[in-house]
Structure 1
Amino acid sequence: MVAKINVGNSLYGALAYNGEKVNEGQGRLLLTHKIFDDGTGTFDIRRAAEDFTRYLPEQVRTSKPVVHISLNPHPDDRLTDTELTAIAEEYLARLGYGNQPYAVFKHEDIDRHHLHIVTLCVDEQGKKIGDSFIRRRSKNITRTLEQQYGLHTAERKRQTQAEPLRTVDAAAGDVKRQIGNVLKGISGRYKFQTLGEYRALLSLYNVTVEECRGEVRGREYRGFVYSATDDRGAKVGTPLKASRFGKRYGYEAFERWCAASKEQIKERKLGDMVKATAMAALRRTKDRAEFIALMKAKGVDIVLRKTDTGRIYGATFIDHRTGCVLNGSRLGKELSANALQTHFEPPRPGIPVSISLPLSDTPDTGQQVQTPFDDDTIAGGWGLFTAEGGATDAEEQAFMREMQRRKKKRRNKRKI
């Protein structure tokens, strides 16, 4: 996020520049402090100028009392108005202008939505508010806000322009560089809590990751191995150890990031936004492809894990607006794999979607557990159900056990 600070003497000019965009439908007034807002969605430039002037004493000790700031997030940072408002408030408070009269505008006339802030750098006694090293302090503040809200850094913006994030094509060669670009592009931008959620994110760019364990000189180690995949998710080419890309892409760094992500997701309630978007989309469609396309248009990709027959046994939602990656079961049972399967493929009359069967590794208590049912074995080869994967939720574990039980039953029949 880049902040540009301009100090001048034309209060009306700064207000008119922003107010005209609002009144022409090319912007919005997000927030005011000590300035009247009638709530109509329009901006009374003259009234706002009068309100600001009330806080300017006759004897102003500086010739340039007006501060006009633009805050420019990275184009890939898709922020809601609520998040933009919170960022503007925190920025002003940290800069020392939190108690000043100000107006915050969102400009929407170009694809790169950004903020403009108009405020005063003098207090009600006409004394100038300290502005020593203001641009240096501003840069430190934006860096802090980038980390707090999971935004792109200014440095990463230049890197993205030089190395655009694109899907890995193993046939094009130099797979190491291609995978490295993907890892750099998503590093720090997304929040996930399991290896399965990390895999789902990587799969958007034809990359997968596997956990490897071993022992060297009596010491156990755990690491990551990255591979390119084709469009069907099958691994192609030679796997590459995480150490070839750097420590920040290894297992230990992954664990630390998962712990930090868990706190951020809980504290900022990031799942609420994607859940609301998904529920609204579900109410509008009963077609799976249409649902995925509708969510993508809203900035959310969905990775579905399916059997050979197309039955959904796992779903992961990747919200590019907040950088939040969540399995559907985390968002609620209405977005779990079973619920999505039922929603998109309602049962035919007289044919149930699931049957009651006891699980092979569950004690026989006389009770039966509802489990998904399918005649084919699990497809993929992604390792989502392995102990090393760390990505399974209760629903996927139940599905795995049921498939194993049925496979064992078929083997016993063949022996007879």
Structure 2
Amino acid sequence: MVAKINVGSSLYGALSYNGEKVNEGEGKLLTSNKIFDNGTGTVDIARAMADFERYLPERMRTEKHVMHISLNPHPDDKLTDTELADIAREYMEKIGYGEQPFVVFKHEDIDRQHLHIVSVRVGKDGKRLNNDYIHRRSKRATEALEKQYNLRPSGSRRQRMELGALHKVNPAEGNVKRQVGNVLKSISGNYRFQTLGEYRALLSLYNITVEETRGKVSGREYRGFVYSALDEKGNKVGNPLKASLFGKYAGCDAFDKRCSSSKTEIESKDLGKYTKGKVFAAMGKSSGKQELITNLKAKGIDVVLRETDTGRIYGVTFIDHNTGCVLNGSRMGKELSANALEQWVERKEAQYADKPAYTPQGEAPEQRELFEKQSENDSPTGGLFDNLSLLPDGTDPEEEAFRRQMQRKKKKRKGMKI
């Protein structure tokens, strides 16, 4: 089970976001503490707001006094509403907020069941409650609840990504809004991208596209996102869906913030080098475009190519599910730009047109060991064949590497002569 904790200043915004989903039949009110619940499973947002305000002083020293938590069991954990309500209450107890007013909502707008808890993080005196090590306390709480209720552990990042249970949108199955929402919610916060093009490439994996809309209403400028489902050929299907149908996480403001934070994270942690290393390694093993795509997919990297009607590559984006990074090829260097990749494809396909793809199996043990070591090397600059696999003059990279080795040996021998 994964818990995500967000803090903010708009109590009404958190209540209305959850309350409207419930009242539209896309969720349930499971339980509450110190907040009125009429037992119908629906929400009186105004009444809930008034009840919360009774516990808030007129003057608060804490600006971000609202706590909005999502609890996400694994999709394979099948729990009753009673069990989910109990888990939410016990979670709040374990993190030290059991005596606070809170409301627990169950969302059913996407394929996996998950909970949202709205509470406040200040006492009646307006002071912030103890928030030290809150994420550590939350992790201990979810681990204890996993054992208590025999739930699947959240574990690694790869296991956390399973929460999305992502499937391509299939308009033939109906309820396209729900299918699109399932994808958007699942990828929200789990991927790093820096442009609309990179975000669109990520969505294309699941038969979704997004367009930015701008205009004026009553003299005021507006900007928004509109999502559409795609068929297997990439054509739009059905009616477009406004971002407001899904929540703030699908809108422009959330997108802008994600782009900004992604840029900082990718640069500070140098995350692109891991993807770049794997791409170079896969290129060293691949005989052409399709084999490259297959080899990278086996390493957890999807490749989205943009091609002309004649099949020429004019854009490439790599989506690394291991690091959660979406990177245009040119962002990792001109060696992986669309033009360079197109040249590599042409060279490789010509090279392997009349012979089977290269395999190191027939080489001597020491040569095979060197090849495999370089192929698995994550560093794009640490391998013998790195960068050489993209030589623009069409030279075979392995032959070029061998030629340079021979030149170095020849220079050494000349230097030894007296």
Range class of TM-score, shorter chain: 0.3 to 0.5
Structure with the higher fraction of residues in helix conformation: 2
